[in-house]
Amino acid sequence: MERTVRRIPQNEIQDQLGYMHKVRSIVSKKAEQRGSCMKYCVITYGCQQNEADSERLSGIAEKMGYVQVYSEKDADLILVNTCAVREHAELKALSVTGQYKHLKEANPELIVGIGGCMVSQQRRCDDIKNSYPYVDFLFGTSMLYRVPEFIYKRLTGGKRGFYSEFGAGCIAEGLPVKREHKHKAWVSVMNGCNNFCTYCIVPYVRGRERSRYKEDILEEIRTVVNDGCHEITLLGQNVNSYGLDLPEYVGKYDFSSLLQDINEIDGDFIVRFMTSHPKDAKKELIDTMARCEKIAPHFHLPLQSGSDEILKRMNRKYTSEYYLGLLAYMREKIPDICVTTDIITGFPGETEEDFEKTLSLVSIARYDMIYSFIYSPRPGTPAAEYGDQISAEDKNRRFRRLLDLQNQISYEKNLSAVGKTYRVLCDGLSKNDGGMYTGRTAGNKLVHFPCNEDMTGRFVTVKIAAAQPYALLGELVQSDISQ
Ligand code: SAH
Ligand code: SF4
Ligand code: F3S
């Protein structure tokens, strides 16, 4: 097995803290000279793991004395955290990066760093190096902790830097973090993936699985809970294999043990986790969820396809029968559980019959919600080389059929919530519905409700009055004024 350094040694982190300090002096001098503060903007594409990484980037920028802005045109430092999971995500990041040319012309002191999954691929690294000369540096997923050094080098006249290679390890403890919310927090439990599903780029851009030590995870959770956090989402590409890369944990401490330990931390909070691979989601995990009152009744269990033939070609290592068995066990042990999934339409070789099998499994499973994706060939993955690619027309048609079916199911499920009362964590004012507040149930259902007082970050009790396919509408019963 490939040996990797799991943690970046503390002396290297100390070096980076040193760079942050040096950048801070430069930034404060510049700010003084021009009479206004230096500003940074972090732009994030992709999944929650990237959101979590971006909170580290913001923490680093703040520590260096930059002040946050949300529009790139106002910034002196732009950090873009990219995604590579589908072509669309890459094209978007590239097109946005293209627009920075004008910003750099207007402000030659602007520093642009592009990081994350997209630039962890050599071909994208080369594209940017050659075609985007105004990009100052690239940092792959394992190089995020060295961003202070890269910025320092550029600020002191160093050359452009391209750090896309996969470093020895990418768990960096002790970096500053600026969390976007006070009431909910991402907590990464592991990085990387060993599964190599044949369509997926993630193992190539995030490297092999590396688990954080439980002490570090538990300490982070205690800290955010003490700071008033009410919802923790544990992150990893496959949280169910937590600890399997740590020889001292194998057979002794796993994801269920971690959930159990988190459940024992004092405080009024709920815990979610994502993502689980069905092949590793064991009954013991479901038993633990059923037992632990702080673990939310919410399970994201990616199916990808309902056809055993396609699952095999995807290298998913389970069958539809096994998957449905797991789902049945979950619903038996946790009757109010909300289950969501990911499905890909138009994987190479998917026949109409295969697709019908997906539709039929979706009808049986009756998910609360699905995230469906049109298959996007990723250069470097096995499926991109398969000869039997599906036409864009078929992929799109299947995608729409799947969506129509799920919309109906989601609506029916939401209708069954009408009249019931839920504890909802309020996220703030609804973006689309002026005046309404929005929040989520423990099962992660979106709830909108009118309210006169700002309840952001608090638990409230809401009685559901009406349903939409993707949201519930309700009325406040009482506020949880104990917080
Ligand atoms: N580790 C997670 C998923 C990470 S990617 C898991 O295994 O569930 C999130 C989702 O993107 C996947 O579940 C899959 O449905 C989708 N996806 C990944 N690669 C894709 C591709 N090449 N084309 C379309 N969708 C893809
Ligand atoms: Fe990609 Fe599969 Fe790993 Fe998920 S489990 S990140 S889909 S390779
Ligand atoms: Fe995208 Fe990387 Fe996440 S490829 S989905 S940002 S792990």
pLDDT, tens digit, 9 for 90 and up, residues 329-376? 999 999 999 999 999 999 999 999 999 999 999 999 999 999 999 999
Nearest to 340 by CA among 376, 375, 303: 303
Residue 462: predicted pLDDT: 97
Confidence of residue 479 (pLDDT cuts 50, 70, 90): low
CATH 2.40.50.140 for the 421-479 domain, yes or no: yes
Confidence of residue 3 (pLDDT cuts 50, 70, 90): very low
Is any atom of ligand 1 closer than 6 Å to the C-beta of 199? yes
Lowest mean pLDDT among 14-28, 188-202, 422-436: 422-436
Nearest to 378 by CA among 45, 123, 207: 123
Region for residue 228 given its phi and psi (left: phi exceeds 0; alpha: psi -120 to 50; beta: otherwise): left
Nearest CA to ligand 1 atom 24: 375
- How are beta strands 421-429 and 459-467 bridged, if at all? antiparallel
The bound ligand whose nearest atom lies closest to the alpha carbon of 300 is 1
Confidence of residue 483 (pLDDT cuts 50, 70, 90): very low
Q: Give me the mean pLDDT over the 402-416 stretch.
A: 97
Please tell me the distance from the alpha carbon of residue 314 to that of residue 464, in angstroms, as a whole number: 40
pTM for the structure as a whole: 0.96
Closest atom of ligand 3 to CA, residue 50: 6
Q: Do domains 181-415 and 421-479 have the same CATH topology?
A: no
Binding-site residues, ligand 2, Cβ < 6 A: 193, 195-197, 200, 202-203, 237-238, 277
Is any atom of ligand 1 closer than 6 Å to the C-beta of 289? no
Residue 120: predicted pLDDT: 94
Residue 7: predicted pLDDT: 84
Is any atom of ligand 1 closer than 6 Å to the C-beta of 207? no
Q: Give me the mean pLDDT over the 80-104 stretch.
A: 96
CA of residue 266 to ligand 3 center, whole Å: 32
Residue 482: predicted pLDDT: 45
Q: Give me the mean pLDDT over the 75-88 stretch.
A: 97
Residue 167: predicted pLDDT: 54
Residue 274: strand pairing partners: 235
Report the CATH superfamily, name and number, of domain 5-170.
Methylthiotransferase, N-terminal domain (3.40.50.12160)
Q: For the chain, what are the domain ranges?
A: 5-170, 181-415, 421-479
CA of residue 50 to ligand 3 center, whole Å: 7
The bound ligand whose nearest atom lies closest to the alpha carbon of 347 is 1
Q: Give me the mean pLDDT over the 291-302 stretch.
A: 97
Residue type, 46: G
Lowest mean pLDDT among 91-95, 132-136, 258-262, 433-437: 433-437
Is any atom of ligand 3 closer than 6 Å to the C-beta of 83? yes
The bound ligand whose nearest atom lies closest to the alpha carbon of 119 is 3
Question: CATH for 181-415, among 3.40.220.10, 3.40.50.970, 1.10.760.10, 3.80.30.20?
Answer: 3.80.30.20
Nearest CA to ligand 3 atom 1: 83
